[in-house]
Amino acid sequence: MNTRLEKFDSGWVALSLALGEVEIDVLIRRLEELKSGELKHFHIRNDDFSLDEGVSDIEISIAGKGEQNNMMIE
């Protein structure tokens, strides 16, 4: 898996994830486990902190009731 973080002058950032086929299968399984209640959350973690900056961790969980949306899936 490869992540890329792009910072804009406005202060906004974009995050790109490039997944391999096996990682897609693992992500689908984790999402199914999250949906079924087997997991409360899971992480996509960086395994190399040798760079000055980057994406260290992405936590994925189910939104709480009444929690405002600020993104959508396209």
68 in any annotated domain: no
- Number of domains, the chain: 1
| pTM of this structure | 0.84
SS3 61: strand
pLDDT in tens, the chain (74 residues): 999 999 999 999 999 999 999 999 999 999 999 999 999 999 999 988 888 888 999 999 999 999 999 999 99
DSSP code per residue over 2-36: EEEEEE-TTS-EEEEEE--HHHHHHHHHHHHHHHH
73 in any annotated domain: no
Burial (CB < 10 A; 0-12, 13-18, 19+), residue 27, is middle
Structural domain including 51 reads: 2-61
